[in-house]
Structure 1
Amino acid sequence: MGAVVGGVGTAFGPTLYERFRRKADEHEAAQEAVELLPLMQGPAQLLYPLRGVIPFEGRKRELEELTAWCLDESAGAVRLVTGPGGVGKTRLAWELGRSLKDKGWGYFYVGDDQEADAISRLQTAGLSRILVVVDYAETRIGLSSLLVEVAADKDRQVRVLLLARSTGEWWRHLSAGSVRVRQLVADAGADGIVLSESVTAEKSDLELIWEAVPWFAAALKVEPPANIKMELTPGRKRILDLHAMALVIVLRSQQENNESISIKTEHVLEELLGHERRFWLQSAKARGFLHSPTGLTASAIEQVIAAGTLLGARDKEQALEVIARIKGVPATAAIAEWLRELYPPDDDQEWLGRIRPDRLAELHVTRELANSPELRATCLTKLDRRQARRALITLARAAAELDDAQQVFQELLPEVADDVGTIEAPRETLIAIHDAIPHPSLGLAEDQVLLIKRILDSISAEVEAEEQAHWLLALGVHLKELGKFVSAIQVEREGVAIYRQLVDVDPDRHRSNLAWSLFKLSMTLGELGQHADALSAIEESVSIYRKLADTRPDRYRSNLADAVSRLNMTLGELGQHADALSAIEESVSIYRKLADTRPDRYRSDLADALSDFSYRLAQLRRHADALSAIEEAVTIYQELASTHPDLYRFSLARALFNLGAALGDMGRYIDAFPKAEEAVAIYREIADAYPDRYRPDLASVLSSFSAIIGELGWHADALPKAEEAVAIYREIADAYPDRYRPYLARSLSNLSYRLSWIGRHDDALSVTRETVTIYRQLADAHPDRYQPNLADALSNLGAALSELDQHADALSVSEEAVTIYRELAAASPDRYARYLANSLFNLSIGFSQMDRHADALSATKQAVAIYRELASASPDRYLPNFANSLCRLGHQLSYLGLHAEALAAEQEAVAIYREPANIYPERYCPDLAHSLSHLGPRLALLGQLPEALIAAQETVDIYRKLAGAYPERYRSDLDKSLHDLADILLQLGRESDAASAVSEALLILDKDEGSHT
């Protein structure tokens, strides 16, 4: 490495190699005085890629590709390599530089904050061909400036290799930079080279560990252990983990002297950190920091190193300030110098370095901060902007893999939140802060809006239109988080308009951006109920992505899948369910093919698409198919969550709850309950850890969970869940009314239903009135979005008033609900006809309660006519609704003494229910039993006693089975059906059989009322 870097000269300060050599000299001079480890630094430093302890392994294709890129004079100047921490990005770059040395190339590793002047400093080196490596490119605020200099350098062949954990906002931001930078990024490709966790397919993980052991033993000047037992979990491991395992094996062999060593990969970084801690303590002891009257404790030493790694220091004075943050540690020059010696800085912009490798640094910092509230209080407050940025980046990276880090990260955010929107900093810094904040974040959404507005203010629309469009759409995202959908639509339309203009100039470059912006706009329009406009936007997006996927399938098929999935949702909202099903089927098909070739990348997307597919099938009452789809999604997420719980536990919880809902749709509430309960437990755990992000999700599933519990007849148990959901939403809606008042209203509606079931009708009425008040205010502001919700709430209010015999008021609000739905159905019959039918159904009940039976019959006939037409077009979806309306029609006809017509309606209802009850007995047998319960008495009334007996006996048989499975839900129905059967038996002169039926009913009464029997 020295030879490679040496070609650059001394213009950039001492190299890493020179620092290692200097430290060796210092230790040699002190060797006679103290006894230290046989290492200049902690053992973990042997894993640092630039040390090159282990020969380079694998990555042959990637190395050849990068070498060819460097040597090709016509190639673009920039390449991107991405992959999670520990897969070998830095080592690949260093090996590339080493291989180019013999060809006369120089190699320059850009230190943090050196991007802006790196190229100008290189001009003094006298080299014509240079490889420039920028690690952690996603965090470099001066990266755009570096690329501008590269684009302007026409005298030399400069290649810039960017290393990052992933693409994202930072990469999209670069692609929206100046014309020169945009071209460099475009030449680099959309995703660059993505490194998988496996460095080679030719050797197993065990072989890679075995090969590394002798090299680490040689570096430590010890004999390699002879017998090793290793436990590897399924799946390929990152090369850093494998080398860490080999290093830990060698270190442990020197301590235990046993014949065999056993270690698990999931514990290896923890154990390596333990060896590193021992090194710190030995080094501190050699300096005299321990075991004196004013000596440091081991805990204090570990906290000092964590603070230095987290915050760094630009000079010695700031290092002393960092040390002073640790309780019980004197801020002396000796400790500061020792800390710098342990971890020297990588460049001359920093005075303190950090633990290497970075994943070890992130682990140590996270552990120390998580275990000490006092340390968090001192290290996450009173930070200058450089320290805040460094801490944000460190903890943000750690949060991707460590649960504790996310919580610590959340504690840091308030320290910087007050300044986020007003901080004076270059645009690159503002963007870095924006990208470091987790999304979505309730507490920081307003700050994000202010931050993006500052970024937009720094952009010249005439020169940087693409970047302006990008940030307008990002602004729309955060405005929606605040519930400001109208404002979001305005800025998103502006972004779409800019992209349209750019497409006119350069269609190949900007069509994908236009498709993406239309996708986002469609989502926002849908949120406000503007589904026709949303459909237009998403159809255009799908059309663009379809053309792009035809020419570049590897790049755009996943975008097409996302777009058609969104199309499915919009079509469903418009009542076009057949077309919606076709769209989501296409999305599933695309993701299934992608997941077959890239399972690590696309299996989660497949699971999401299957979940949407399940929902659409359920909407069409294809319950068996819906269940199959969601079960496959759950299986995928269970596998993903078993290896990456932090990434996929939330998705698993969501899929589990959807599985419970699918089982509930089939009437299998006993099976649904444990799935939903497991999902709620996961949601609660995640929401407790990250309340700012996940409490709304917890409230949503609690509300739905209460409905599942209610279907089991456990109404007293369902109520607390509904009340908790309302309490959460009430608290959040107080802070963010624009965003969460609709959710509060929805949860209140569910709560009123739960209260009614346990007989608390006064409370239910009060809650329903509040629901109507909220929806009326929302509908005044956004009629397209909330008029349907208002109508539904009015229908519920009518039912609540009826329960308290306030029939005149109930009829009034039911009529208002019908009026709203008539207007909606006239404009969008596919979407609202079924809602009009349901509101007419409820209105007929109100008329009946006021003894206006002719009006009730008219309303019911209108509902039946609508459902008959809907069922004719979509029988799977609407036949059950049609059958239910026929039952109601029979009831109304009987009031008017039209028993023959009532019988015909009820017989038609029973005939309709028989088929779905045979296919989905748990879902539709209750409906069949309900329709039969009317049919038996009706036949008896008309003198058809043998037929009446058959219907009544079938009703009892069904309710017996249902009450056996769900006693609290169906015992009362069984009791009534037994009395109806007894009446018919008495009319047939079968007194003993009638007495037997009544005796069975009395046993049910005894169970229900106990001593009051």
Structure 2
Amino acid sequence: MAAITDGKPWVTVAGAVMGGIGTAFAPTLLDRLKEQDNAREDLGDVVEPLPDVSGPALLLHASRSVVPFEGRERELEDLLAWCGDPQSGRLRLLTGPGGVGKSRLAVELAKRLGPEWGVLEVRDDAETEALSRWRAVDRWQVLIVVDYAETRTGLSALLHEVAADEGRRVRVLLLARSVGEWWRQLGAESARVRQMVAAAGAEGIVLTERVAADKSDHDLVAEAVPYFAAALNVEAPQRFEVELGEGPHRILDLHATALVVVLRSMRSDADAVTVEVEDVLEELLGHERRYWVQTARMQGFHQGVHGLSTLMLEQTVAVGTLLGARDRGQAAEVVGRVPGGTASVVVADWLRELYPPDDDREWLGRLRPDRLAELHVTQKLSDSGELLTACLENLDERQGRHALVTLARAAQELEAAGKILQRLLPLVADDVGSIPAPRETLVALYEVLPYPSLVLAEAHALLAQRILDSTPADAEAGERARWLSSVGAHLAALGSPAEALPAEQEAVTIYRQLAEVYPDRYLPELARSLANLSVRFSELGRPAEALPPTEEAVTIRRQLVEVYPDRYRPDLAHSLTGLGVRFSELGRPAEALPLTEEAVAIYRQLVDAYPDRYRSDLARSLTGLVVNLAEFGRLTEALPVAEEAVAIYRQLVDAYPDRYRSELTHSLTNLGNCFSELGRPAEALPVAEEAVTIRRQLAEVYPDRYRPDLALSLTNLGNCFSELGRLTEALSVAEEAVTIRRQLAEVYPDRYRPDLALSLTNLGVHLSKLGRPAEALPLTEEAVAIYRQLAEVYPDRYRADLAKSLVNLAVRFSELGRPAEALSAAEEGTIIHRQLAEVYPDRYRADLAKSLVNLGIRFSELGRPAEALPAEQEAVAIYRQLAEVYPDRYLPELARSLANSGIDFMELGRLADALLFTEEAITIRRQLAEIYPDPYRADLARSLANLGTIFVGLGRLVEALSADQETVAIYRQLAEIYPDRYRADLVDSLSNLGLTFSELIRSAESEKARQEAERIQDGYRNT
């Protein structure tokens, strides 16, 4: 952002000091300045003067104010009131993506403040002495503007100086593309600075794309066209079309569109021109290129042996923009970096004339606006590895920082820039790197890198570790704790929670000590570090250890919210979401749900106020809410929540694909699970397929990070195929999941053997459904062996998994006609679950009940119903208790155990008892089938079939007939939708119906049922 003036491009000092001051007042101030030459020269070192217009793109520069200011009235009024109120805090933060109008708003603020205000725009590296140099010139009230605040390493020093200033009123306006660690750390400075940051708010003033509520994007473009035409001294085009697509768009893009309309109409004989907003930056670059070529030809650069091609001219501008130069000699060296070029002062002079410097301490200027410059530099460096290498060799410290921060800014929106940085950062962060990068540069680079980012995840970790390693031994403890926590977070993001844990534990220890002495300053940091520590324990499968730090973080943040609600509500919501996850992991859903609901409520309020900032947080908390609702069996409530989360992530992915594609797959997984649990596998399938597609793409680029996620999505997809009766397809994807996890387990056995065991179990289930139990058995045995080994080392974590795998092993033995071995596995699984339930009843009673059901079935298979019945009865008792508290979740399980008890009573000849339990099961299943017909009609049909058999045994044939007819009707409907899955059940039910008709001496109807059963059976065999 250049110096703000009121119409004329003043000389360096006057332009800076006069910013926003009316011309009528100018002579008085100039007289004073003439008396203070030394101070004026010093002040010139810290301001940003106004550049001259060269190429047409500079007409978009905020300081030119080509188009009159409009919109943003609420924000402008807030800033004017802030400057005008002596009691207001001294600091404000203005955030928003590049091109939304932050600089233009600052320009307008300066204009409206009036002649009694001076405006000081601080150049990079001049923050430390900016205010003191101003005060040497003037004690008047001043607005200090700092652009790209997130990259300023001297910002803390400036704010300390502002806090201590006793002159006339001073206000500091920071402009940044986003808040982040840099802003949080300012809030951990000394008490006076901390108060300034707190008064500015957690998010500051956030600018979104929409400028004016009462005007469309088309209106804004149309209104801007005449102003750009006037600036170019041409007649404004009367007819033009603009294709904007979905909006709103950033104001820079809209003004660029208007400028392109004028430029294109100047070169076109058509009655009307058509411009697409997506192409305007590229087209503006085209106009700039023509400007470069024309001026170069005028100087004869295209002639001779060493003539410059168009490509070389483009690369020259890119190099100059990327590196800059402190003097003419360095500028000549810079332009000589272009492949095939030479170090030429003539070319350097040409480049300086194209884009005059903004700063007296710079000799070369740069292409403007910044988004155009970032696009051009990224394109040229991406297109030429030779140019990239040449640009990053033998740089001085200033050039290295300039280049890296420019690329980091570009990486916030251009994935190609992120990939360049990913290649460069090892050279920057390594002690022997070829690019000069002192600690301050690394910190500035870290702050401006987009986060989260798939492309730059390793870069974040590398930078954080390098900064931690370079922390001076005498640095304050909080500085070391900050980077320990950052290192832990980034290592965990790369899939290394075991390495991340010690760093986070050390950070918590430091912050706890600091918070005891300086609670106001360090309690927020302690809460943040505790939340991170909790996540690390959770990632390592240690939920009992994860719970206390999360609870402590929530307690601290509730206290902070009482004092500073605006600042700490987002942090509280984040901790509430995390605490809900911890309770869920511990099998305590009743405690998890209200916490997650509270977090969602907070994020909804925040999204209403700051939609661009908190939508991702809302989506993340909605994802947690889906899980909590599903744990209670409240799937109809969970489904719209899952759909909302997916919708938000889709919007985020459209804007930031690098950041949110992985998050989208998590929400898709939850949505698919909801559809599946609701018995809607046909709707679950495309969702699961989309998740697999995205994760396959991610795994191709980042195999180490995303192959595990791909395996998980393949597992879910296999389950969808299985539910649809597409067993061959289910088998194929399950085999792929096993292959991936075998490979991962060979490299990282501690981390991926549990996942391998789970995939082996699933693959065994799919083979079993295909009638291949002999192939399924060794896979299930391998899963049991893995879990047995893991349970020996980590009993608290893996004994439950071992017990579940033993239940599956019992089923496999049963399918192979080995009931004695099946019973042995079932008994071992039940013993483990009983031990777990004694210690953690809330978490494992349901698993114990499931094991008891399995044990009862195994006894029944051995013809031992008298031993089966107590196990089933115990399961019924547990499920009754659970269903009273969580009816949606456990009524289906209660019905299943009641049905099994009915069968045991039948086998014992106790038909009256069998009837009682079976009718209760049917009552529950009727209720469930009315609400969720797809998942529960089949269960109802099975219970009705059992009821028919019981009635036949009791000689109540008419009632048996009614039950059999209803059974056939249900299976007939199901077989029409899922023929592969339910034809066999339909055949069996028809056979039973025929037998009942026969008992009633209704032979014709009996024969009809028998023939239909045979016809279906023959068709199935032929298929």
Q: Which runs of structure 2 are paired with 1:896-907 in the superposition (5 Å)?
A: 896-907=908-919
Q: Does the CA contact (< 8 Å) of 1:535 and 1:570 recur in 2?
A: yes
Instruction: Please point out which of 190, 206, 227 is paired with 2:202.
Output: 190
Q: Is the 8 A contact 2:397 2:437 kept in 1?
A: no
Q: Is residue 587 from structure 1 mapped to residue 603 from structure 2 by the alignment?
A: no
Change (3 A) 1:287 1:208: same
Matched, 1:724 2:755: no
Distance 2:58 2:589 in 1: 60
Matches within 5 A, 1:713-792: 713-731=725-743, 739-792=751-804
Structure 1 residue runs without a partner (length 5+): 22-39
8 Å CA contact 1:627, 1:662 repeated in 2 = yes
Give the 3 Å change call, closer, same or farther, for CA 992–929 of structure 1 in structure 2: same
Moved more, 405-414 or 918-927: 405-414
285 and 413 in structure 1: CA distance in 2 versus 1, 3 angstrom threshold:
same
- C-alpha displacement of 1:977: 2.4
Paired position in structure 2 for 1:570: 582
User: What is the deviation of 1:513?
Assistant: 3.9
CA displacement at 1:251 relative to structure 2: 0.9
The alpha-carbon distance between structure 1 residues 511 and 451, as it changes in their structure 2 partners (threshold 3 A), is same
TM-score by length of 2: 0.85
Deviation at 1:575, TM superposition (A): 3.5
Q: CA deviation at 1:392?
A: 4.7
Aligned partners of 2:316 and 2:338 also within 8 Å: yes
Supply the AA of the counterpart residue of 1:107: L
Q: CA shift at 1:878, angstroms?
A: 0.8
Match of 1:838? 850
1:822: which partner in 2?
834
Alpha-carbon deviation of 1:148?
4.9
Matched residue, 2:681: 669
1:103 aligned onto 2:128: no
1:9 aligns with 2:32: no
Match among 989, 993, 1007 for residue 981 of structure 1: 993
Counterpart of 2:97 in structure 1 is 84
Deviation string 1:393-436 (CA, Å, 9 cap, x unpaired) is 44443343345444555444555565699999654334334445
TM-score by length of 1: 0.86
Tell me if structure 2 keeps the 8 A contact 1:811–1:843: yes
- Pairing of 1:371-770 with structure 2 (within 5 A): 390=402, 392-413=404-425, 416=428, 426-435=438-447, 452=464, 455-456=467-468, 464-481=476-493, 485=497, 488=500, 491-496=503-508, 498-505=510-517, 507-532=519-544, 534-550=546-562, 552-637=564-649, 651-685=663-697, 688=700, 694-731=706-743, 739-770=751-782
| Alignment partner of 2:941 out of 924, 929, 934 | 929
1:966 CA displacement: 1.1
1:53 aligns with one of 66, 90, 102? 66
Q: CA deviation at 1:713?
A: 0.7
Cα shift at 1:888: 2.8
Contact 1:134/1:163, CA 8 A, preserved across alignment:
yes
Shift in CA distance, 585/449, structure 1 to aligned 2, threshold 3 Å: closer
Q: Which moved more, 1:979-988 or 1:800-809?
A: 800-809
CA contact (8 A) 2:319 2:391 kept: yes
Paired residue for 2:926, among 914, 917, 924? 914
Q: Specify the alignment match of 1:266 in structure 2.
A: 278
**Alignment deviations for residues 226-279 of structure 1 (CA, whole Å, 9 cap, x no partner):** 333334445443221222122112211211143333323333223222222322
* 1:31 aligned residue: none
Tell me by how many angstroms 1:881 deviates: 0.7
- On the 8 A contact 1:581/1:613 being kept in 2, the answer is yes
User: How has the CA–CA distance of structure 1 residues 495 and 413 changed in structure 2, closer, same or farther, with 3 Å as cutoff?
Assistant: closer
Offset, 1:882 = 1.4
Q: State whether residues 960 and 996 of structure 2, in contact with CA within 8 Å, keep that contact through their aligned partners in structure 1.
A: yes
Identity of aligned residues (%): 53
Q: Tell me how far apart the structure 2 counterparts of residues 775 and 439 of structure 1 sit (CA, whole Å).
A: 37
- What is the rounded CA distance, in whole Å, between the counterparts of 1:747 and 1:668 in structure 2? 23
- Counterpart-to-counterpart distance in 2, 1:608 and 1:692: 24
State whether structure 2 residue 973 is matched by structure 1 residue 961. yes
**Which deviates more, 694-703 or 422-431?**
422-431
Deviations 1:186-227 (A, max 9, x none): 454433333333445566544543443333223322222233
Measure, in 1, the Cα distance between the counterparts of 2:386 and 2:860. Answer: 68
State the alpha-carbon separation in 2 of the partners of residues 439 and 597 from structure 1: 22
CA contact (8 A) 2:394 2:434 kept: no
Using the TM superposition, name which of 228-237 and 420-429 deviates more.
Answer: 420-429
Alignment of 1:152-163 (within 5 A): 159-163=171-175
Q: What amino acid does structure 2 have at the position aligned with 1:966?
A: Y
The offset of 1:655, in angstroms, is: 3.6
Residues 286-315 of structure 1 deviation map (CA, whole Å, 9 limit, x = unaligned): 343447676554444434444544455667
Partner Cα distance (2:277, 2:663) in 1: 25
2:15–2:50 CA contact under 8 A, matched in 1:
no
1:216 aligned residue (213, 219, 228): 228
CA offset at residue 825 of structure 1? 0.9
Distance 1:741 1:393, change over 3 A: farther
Residues 1:967 and 1:376: Cα distance change in structure 2 (over 3 Å): farther
1:182-261 → structure 2 map (5 Å cutoff): 182=194, 185-186=197-198, 188-201=200-213, 205-233=217-245, 235-261=247-273
Q: Deviations over 1:494-520 (max 9, x none)?
A: 544554555555555554444434433
Whole-Å separation in 2 of the counterparts to 1:919 and 1:17: 68
**Aligned match of 2:24:** none
Residues 335-385 of structure 1: CA deviation (Å, up to 9, x unaligned):
455444434444466555432111112223344455667766776899887
Q: 5 Å matches for 1:311-326?
A: 312=324
Aligned residue identity for 1:237: H
Q: Which segments of 5 or more consecutive residues in structure 2 lack a partner in the other structure?
A: 18-32, 34-38
**Aligned CA-pair RMSD:** 4.1
Q: Verify the 8 A CA contact 1:110 1:133 in the aligned structure 2.
A: no
Tell me what 1:970 maps to: 982
Name the CA distance, whole Å, in 1 between partners of 2:844 and 2:632. Answer: 16
Change (3 A) 1:644 1:281: same
Change in 2 beyond 3 A, CA 1:598/1:183:
closer
Report the Cα offset of residue 826 of structure 1.
0.8
What residue identity is the alignment partner of 2:122?
A: Y
Residues 623-651 of structure 1, C-alpha deviations (whole Å, 9 max, x = no match): 32222333344455556666766666655
Contact residue 429 and residue 463 of structure 2 kept, 8 A: no
- CA gap 1:985/1:432 in 2 versus in 1, 3 angstroms: farther
* Cα offset, 1:803, TM superposition: 4.0
Task: Render the CA deviation track for 1:104-127: whole Å, top value 9, x for unaligned.
Answer: 73624313x444565676677577
Number of residue pairs aligned between Structure 1 and Structure 2: 992
Q: 1:184 to 1:1002 in 2, by over 3 A?
A: same
Measured in 1, the distance between the counterparts of 2:808 and 2:94 equals 57
SS at match of 1:9: helix
Stretch deviating more after TM superposition (301-310 or 945-954): 301-310
Greater shift, 727-736 or 809-818, is seen at 727-736
1:949 paired residue among 950, 961, 967: 961
Secondary structure of the 1:162 match is strand
SS in 2 for 1:161: strand
Distance change >3 Å, CA 190–CA 763, structure 1 → 2: same
Give the distance between the partners of 1:671 and 1:508, measured in 2 at CA. 51
* Structure 1 partner of 2:36: none
